[in-house]
Amino acid sequence: MNAVLTELRIAMYGAWQRRWMALAIAWGVAMLGWMAVTMFPNSYESKARIFVQLDDVLAEQIGIGPNDARRDLQRVRQTLTSAVNLEKVVRATRIGETVTDRREMESAVALLGKEVTVVSDQDNLFEITAVSGDGDLSDVANARLAQDIVQKMIDIFREENLSGGRGEMKDTLAFMDQQLEDRKRELESAEQKRMTFEAQNAENIPGSGALAQRLEAARSEMRGIEADIAAGQSALAAIQGQLSGTPATIAGAGGGGARDALGQAQAQLAGLRSRGLTDNHPDVVAMKSQIVLLSRLAASDRGSVGGAPNPAYTSLQSIRAERQANLQSLLSRRASLQGEMGLLSGRAAGEPMVAAESARIGRDYDVLKAQYDKLLQDREELRLRGQVESETNAVKFQVIDPPTTPRSPVAPNRPLLLFAVLVIAIGAGIGTAVAASQVRSSFATAAKLEAATGLPVLGSISQTITEATRAFNRQRMKWFAGGTAALGGVFVILLAAELVQRSMVA
């Protein structure tokens, strides 16, 4: 501990011996440092806070929820400091007065981007901060410029959320209208194509009810006719059996019965024709067959002496003729249906290609129709949403803290820097003096001389000072104290000037 104290006394003695060097170096460092500090321009900061109300009953009713509005605000906050918006700020403030070309504009925008910040304290509370520290402007001008920058940022913030949103909605609606017109023309073209194709292939289009239904109906009718033919053949066979077992005449009865029956049959035939029935009618065909049969009986009765026609036999013949006519009609209908089914089957051979083309045309039409309906619904929703946003202002702004007027610079902290330069200057002077004392080959104490040479020191002689030397030293001491006080006085003057300058801005 004694050794440390000794070394400290030696260093202090060396610095004191070279105090004029220390004072000169302190003055030099202080003056250079203070000049550098005074050259730093003051930077003034202005702040503003904006409150955004997101809740709106009508907006939520049509689907504009707080999340949508919050997402839009986040987008605006992130793009607020974009190059386009910052360029608007440059042109609207005095920063743009010195901008003459595109290169200078880009430099001004880049510098402004570093000095402007937008912070979201909460979901609906934003803080805008701007700093201005142009060395070519006065402190008052810099303070005013920082306030103007914040005010312009607020205007852009409001414009981006109100006018900008409305303009974007208008452009979106115009785009949707154009898309709807295009889809409408395509839909009309597809509908016309489908109608033309259906008209040309009405019978072959699946699901149209022509070919498939007709073929199925013909098959169903054919099955019914086949059953009727089988039933008719069975009935005809049964009546044939009954007819073969029934005698044609009855013994002992008077003649002329066949001729009378023939006359009645002819009279009935005339009555049927008078009603407008044609020869192809089943009743007419049956009556003709009965007349032919009665004509034969009448001819055979001319040669017979006895016996009269059997009425049961005659009735059975009539029934047989009727059933024969019905069976013949069913056979004719079956032949007609077979021909029609063959024609329909031939047409069905080309139906797959027609069906595929019809399905493709229908599918294209359905896709276009779905797109058109979706675009129409989206357009109407956007139109309603735009009206709500424009007329009710679902997002409401309130500047709760207007742009502040800077009272003091935020940077640099000139009083602290001035004091730091003074401390550094004094330290530099003392350090230089101590270092110089260490370089000189002299010894401040006898112990240090003994340690350096390794030889014992017998004694030391103190310095003898005359009265004239003492007076001269006192004078030099006054000069040194004056120089040191002057250094502190310069520091006080600079500090006072800084405080006066700040009070002028306030």
CA angle centred on 76, ends 70 and 82, rounded to 5°: 155
Say how far apart CA 102 and CA 254 lie, in whole Å. 139
Indicate if 21 and 58 belong to the same structural domain.
Answer: no
For residues 102 and 117, membership in a common domain is answered with yes
Residues 501 and 428 in one domain: yes
For residue 479, what pLDDT is reported?
A: 92
The string of DSSP codes covering 280-328 is TSHHHHHHHHHHHHHHHHHHHHTS-SS-EE-HHHHHHHHHHHHHHHHHH
What's the pLDDT score for residue 27? Answer: 94
pLDDT for position 6:
64
Do 61 and 124 form a contact (C-beta atoms < 8 A)? no
Does residue 131 sit in helix, strand or coil?
strand
- Rounded to two decimals, the pTM is 0.48
Is residue 6 located within the same domain as residue 109? no
Judgement on whether residues 156 and 51 belong to the same structural domain of the protein: yes
β partners of residue 48: 128
Instruction: State which residues form the domain around 486.
Output: 2-40+412-437+465-505
Residue 499 is assigned to a structural domain of this protein: yes
Do 88 and 152 have their domain in common? Answer: yes
77 lies in the same domain as 107: yes
**408: number of Cβ within 10 Å:** 16
On whether both 26 and 73 belong to a single domain, the answer is no
Same domain? For 50 and 151 the reply is yes
Instruction: Tell me which H or E stretch contains 207.
Output: none
The helix (H) or strand (E) run that includes residue 48 is strand 44-53
Asked, for residue 274, whether it belongs to a domain, the answer is no
Residue 337 in any domain: the answer is no
Q: Is residue 458 part of a domain?
A: no
Q: Are residues 21 and 60 in the same domain?
A: no
- Measured in whole angstroms, how far is the alpha carbon of residue 43 from the centre of its chain? 42
Query: What sign does the dihedral 216-219-225-226 (CA atoms) show?
Result: negative
- CB atoms under 10 Å from CB of 370, counted, come to 10
Whole-number pLDDT of residue 166: 52
Res 239: pLDDT: 78
Where does a domain end: 350, 375, 401? 401
Give the per-residue pLDDT at 63: 46
Of the candidates 259, 140, 91, which has an alpha carbon nearest to the alpha carbon of residue 502? 140
On whether both 86 and 14 belong to a single domain, the answer is: no
Considering the domain boundaries, does residue 53 fall inside one?
A: yes
pLDDT < 50 stretches in the chain = 56-65, 164, 207-209, 252-255, 303-306, 392-394
DSSP state of 98: G
Q: In the numeric block, which tokens belong to residue 124?
A: 């609906």
The 3-state DSSP class for residue 57 equals helix
pLDDT of 425 reads 93
CB distance 304 to 238 below 8 Å: no
Residue 48 within any structural domain of the chain? yes
Long-range contacts of 267-272 (CB under 8 A, 24+ apart): none
Say if 256 falls within a structural domain: no
Residues 255-280: tens digit of each pLDDT: 455 666 777 777 777 777 777 777 77
User: Which of the listed residues 380, 401, 422 is the one where a domain comes to its end?
Assistant: 401
Q: What is the domain count for the chain?
A: 2
Among 401, 429, 445, identify where a domain stops: 401
Residue 419, domain member (yes or no): yes
Q: Which of 449, 474, 476 is nearest to 460 (CA)?
A: 449
What CATH number corresponds to the domain at position 71?
3.30.1890
Residues 80 and 123 in one domain: yes
CA distance 147 to 46: 5
